[in-house]
Chain A
Amino acid sequence: GEDVEQSLFLSVREGDSSVINCTYTDSSSTYLYWYKQEPGAGLQLLTYIFSNMDMKQDQRLTVLLNKKDKHLSLRIADTQTGDSAIYFCAEGGLDDKIIFGKGTRLHILP
């Protein structure tokens, strides 16, 4: 079945870049997503990438996709305290199912 894996924790110093990694198993995925969740809240879509793209950049966010290795990464440049949250990788296909990883908790060090 489909599975999405990501590391559970990441600590980064304020001002440095954060890189959150994710692997997925479903080669038929059409979209790959990054969502952000702040405490006690729902999920906010940060960005998504079509499976036929290699890279997408949106301000401080850069998404890289290696389709051969089924590896997705999210880079946050100049990490700020407001970036502290849980980041979820997810994959979706034409069947409308969206499968999420367990989330990576990003902790910002002063």
Chain B
Amino acid sequence: DGGITQSPKYLFRKEGQNVTLSCEQNLNHDAMYWYRQDPGQGLRLIYYSQIVNDFQKGDIAEGYSVSREKKESFPLTVTSAQKNPTAFYLCASSIRGPEAFFGQGTRLTVV
């Protein structure tokens, strides 16, 4: 079955640690996205990539980094510079058209 997979579903991070969230798709989609969701804030765009080896900052990129070495994969690293990382993170992909498909999300908590 084609789809977009995020892992892990739950992630706990200690203060000062970097963590990497995985996002993999087998839909052969060109574009991939990372969003952060906080209660009452909706979805805010962190980074997006339209093609392999290229990506653009979204509205809240500070404290995050990404890579796009393969078409299927768009991992997000939450660095220690991100002061308030506790949130629900959603990855999406699209075929550069109207339909973006979302993964099931990763809930990151700082402990």
Interface stretch (choices A13-21, A61-69, A74-82, A91-99): A91-99
Residue tally, chain A, CB below 8 Å to B: 23
Please report whether the interface of chain B is mostly helix, strand, loop or mixed according to DSSP: strand
Let me know if B42 and A41 touch, CB within 8 A.
no
Provide the main secondary structure of the chain A interface.
strand
Q: Is the CB of B90 within 8 A of A42?
A: yes
28 A-B Cβ contacts within 8 A? A8-B40, A31-B98, A33-B100, A40-B107, A42-B6, A42-B102, A42-B104, A42-B105, A43-B90, A44-B102, A45-B99, A45-B101, A48-B98, A88-B42, A92-B98, A92-B100, A96-B31, A96-B50, A96-B96, A97-B48, A97-B58, A98-B94, A98-B100, A99-B45, A100-B35, A102-B41, A103-B42, A103-B43
